Chains A and B, each alone.
Chain A
Amino acid sequence: MLLIVGLVISSLASGLRLQAHTATLRERRTAALYAMARELATASSLDDIAKSSLSHLAKVFDASGMILLKRTDGTMRSLGAAGTAALLECADSGIADWVFTQQTIAGVGTDTLPAANAIYLPLNGTLGKVGVLVVHRNNRRPPLVSEQQRLLEAFANQIAVAVERDELRRAAHISAYAAHEERLRSSLLSSISHDLRTPLAVIGGSASSLLQGNSQLSEGAPRQVVQTIHDETQRMTRMVNNILDMTRLEAGPVQLDRQSYHLEEIVGAVLERLKDQFGQRAVRIAIPRDLPMLHVDGVLFEKVLINLLENAAKYTPPHTHIEVVASLQDRRIEIQVMDDGPGIPKGSEQQVFAKFYRGHAEESVTGTGLGLAICSAIIEAHRGRIWVENRPEGGAIFSLVLPLEAACKEHTKRVAP
């Protein structure tokens, strides 16, 4: 009796031990799965996904793995670097293809193709098949027990979901980018169609009135009409040039032809070029004689000053005072273009540098809304900074700083797209 009781107890105890052992194993595996899932959730690229999933695979199953993803053209590409070369040799693309289409596990320890030297698991995400996971166990270890195989399948699921998530994220990113581009394009189109059609209409109308003969035109009118055609053509030319400049600046890395220039000289050239546009506005220049030479791309830097001074002339009433002031401050050259006009709308200090930004008050003024965006792109290429603020006493100050040392060492710099 005692013997029987003893036997029962011992068998029960050993059953309990076994259960306890299985529970521990299960717990350990759940923990492993959880650890991998957590890492995969934060993976930000396919490479990250491959790296963390394969390292977990190695730790838990003492196996090396390879993730094969189906390309859109139907071929497989491998993901994951560790031991890939060796693994590629033993991975059979025929089996991988079969597993992918059949969505059935195959290889060592399974019912299908048990003679193969690796295990092939389908990677199946929530939206569909994404690829195949190939697992090659080290040191000819015994086949996986069913519990381990289930865990491996759970691993595969996690990997598939992570891969799928990454693909979705990239698709979302691309479509957000496309939407942004699309907004820019339509903004450009409406800007171009409005701003270029207005002068075109004026030119066309003026020219046709001249063509019709001057019976209806009073004395001196033809000259006025021709003047209008001329002015509008110049305006259009400026717009087209701005559009071209912007396109060029955005086309890729800007090659700066940096040379040493006297600021005074560039300002002088700009004033000469814009003298007709200033009209009665007085321009004061305050550049210290000992200001170091600027190490800039002269042609591009001239464009910056042209745009700033042209704006100062365009958006201010006649008789406005415009000033160009430069100073050396802490190994930086600061240049300010200021006026005592109406200033810029409060709160739009950042926006004015955005492409196609045009204030409401500016609707009567023609332009593409590109001038300041061009300035900002050029100054950025020179590793400088440009900003605007309103003067307490009224008017706007556009300031730009150029670093001295950086300016002398750096020869080219990329412009952020």
Chain B
Amino acid sequence: MTAERPAVIVIEDEPRLRRVLRTTLETNGFRCMESESARRGLLDARTLRPDLILVDLGLPDCDGLQVIRAVRQWSTVPMIVLTARSEEPTKIAALDAGADDYVTKPFTVGELLARLRVALRRGGDYNPSGVFEIDTLRVDLANRQVFIGGQEVHLTPIEYRLLTVLVKNAGRVVTYNHLLRHVWGPGKVEQHDFVRTYIADLRRKLEADPARPVYLLTEVGIGYRLLAPAMKGVTN
């Protein structure tokens, strides 16, 4: 990452949207580079070595999904997808192809910046001693302990593993399939209700009101997102 101003490539064919994104990014401490097509974007991604790529899924020359797959062949650069609403399968496909997160159009600046911050801090929001902390929730990865308001909460091994996968991706949406793979192993893929049941249990232990979760947020049809410090200050 460049010292102060992270460089973002915006791969988007709609010039007006590019203009808005450029203004937003530049007034919020990013450098912005524009690519108006998938081909151009792939080229720029190689030559300009950005810190983050913002890619529209509906590009005229080729599917945004292909851009994600192509970039992932040689780079781990964070990628955020711009999508239209009601396209859950596409969102999931993009995330499975290697995108870090998505922003649904039309999005608010707060939302976009939160996603960018989270994606740029990839690798965990926990401090060097392995402690993740947000509001009253404290997860001590080194000692395998979880606290709510200073009170230790006892989790089953699966609940704990589920929580650690979310902690390691704090602030990012984590798909059902990702959780299944990393908690249960490759055999359980597609059994999404498995995840939902364990998340419900986890919420009963961590959330003051499980019906109004504060930490374990739901993205219906896609997966879960653990509240992260970088998400604070987002207005919907």
**CA–CA, A272 and B214, complex, Å:** 9
Q: Is A389 an interface residue (CB 8 A)?
A: no
| Contact (Cβ within 8 A) A265 B86 | no
Smallest beta-carbon distance B166→chain A, Å: 15
Report the nearest B residue to A269, measured CB to CB: B218
| Contact (Cβ within 8 A) B86 A273 | no
Q: Is A260 an interface residue (CB 8 A)?
A: yes
Per DSSP, chain A at the interface is helix
Q: Is B193 an interface residue (CB 8 A)?
A: yes
**CA–CA, A184 and B211, complex, Å:** 39
**CA–CA, A244 and B105, complex, Å:** 14
Q: Is A95 an interface residue (CB 8 A)?
A: no
| Contact (Cβ within 8 A) B218 A265 | yes
Q: Is A241 an interface residue (CB 8 A)?
A: yes
Scoring B residues 172 to 207 as 1 if CB is less than 8 Å from chain A, else 0, what string do you get?
Answer: 000000000000000000001100110110000000
Smallest beta-carbon distance A410→chain B, Å: 17
Smallest beta-carbon distance B170→chain A, Å: 17
| Contact (Cβ within 8 A) A259 B212 | no
Report the nearest B residue to A275, measured CB to CB: B236
| Contact (Cβ within 8 A) A267 B211 | yes
Quick one: which of B191-236 are within 8 Å of A by CB?
192-193, 196-197, 199-200, 210-213, 217-221, 235-236
Residues of A within 8 A of B220 (CB): 261, 265-266, 269, 298-299, 302
Smallest beta-carbon distance B175→chain A, Å: 13
**CA–CA, A289 and B219, complex, Å:** 21
Scoring A residues 14 to 48 as 1 if CB is less than 8 Å from chain B, else 0, what string do you get?
Answer: 00000000000000000000000000000000000
**CA–CA, A243 and B221, complex, Å:** 21
Report the nearest B residue to A244, measured CB to CB: B86
Interface centre among B85, B106, B218, B220, by most chain A C-beta atoms within 10 angstroms, is B220
In the complex, number of A-B residue pairs with CB atoms less than 8 Å apart: 64
8 Å CB contact of B193 from A260, A272, A285, A302 = A260
**CA–CA, A331 and B221, complex, Å:** 25
Smallest beta-carbon distance B92→chain A, Å: 11
Residues of B within 8 A of A269 (CB): 217-220
Quick one: which of B76-106 are within 8 Å of A by CB?
85-86, 88, 106
Residues of A within 8 A of B197 (CB): 262, 293
Please tell me the number of chain A residues within 8 Å of chain B, measured between CB atoms: 28
Smallest beta-carbon distance A227→chain B, Å: 11
Q: Is A149 an interface residue (CB 8 A)?
A: no
| Contact (Cβ within 8 A) B213 A268 | yes
Residues of A within 8 A of B213 (CB): 268, 272
Smallest beta-carbon distance A294→chain B, Å: 10
| Contact (Cβ within 8 A) A272 B217 | yes
Smallest beta-carbon distance A393→chain B, Å: 25
Report the nearest A residue to B235, measured CB to CB: A276
8 Å CB contact of A265 from B88, B106, B199 = B199
Residues of A within 8 A of B217 (CB): 269, 272
**CA–CA, A245 and B87, complex, Å:** 11
Residues of B within 8 A of A244 (CB): 85-86
**CA–CA, A293 and B200, complex, Å:** 11
**CA–CA, A245 and B221, complex, Å:** 16
Scoring B residues 94 to 134 as 1 if CB is less than 8 Å from chain A, else 0, what string do you get?
Answer: 00000000000010000000000000000000000000000
| Contact (Cβ within 8 A) B106 A262 | no
Closest 10 CB pairs of A and B: A260-B193, A269-B218, A299-B221, A302-B220, A298-B221, A298-B220, A285-B211, A264-B211, A269-B220, A262-B200
15 A-B pairs besides A244-B85, A268-B211 with CB distance below 8 A are A241-B85, A259-B192, A259-B193, A260-B193, A261-B196, A261-B220, A262-B197, A262-B200, A265-B218, A266-B220, A267-B211, A268-B213, A287-B211, A293-B197, A302-B220
Q: Which residues of B contact A (CB under 8 A)?
A: 85-86, 88, 106, 192-193, 196-197, 199-200, 210-213, 217-221, 235-236
* 11 residue pairs bridging A and B, Cβ less than 8 Å apart: A241-B86, A244-B86, A260-B196, A262-B196, A265-B218, A266-B220, A268-B211, A269-B218, A272-B218, A287-B211, A298-B221
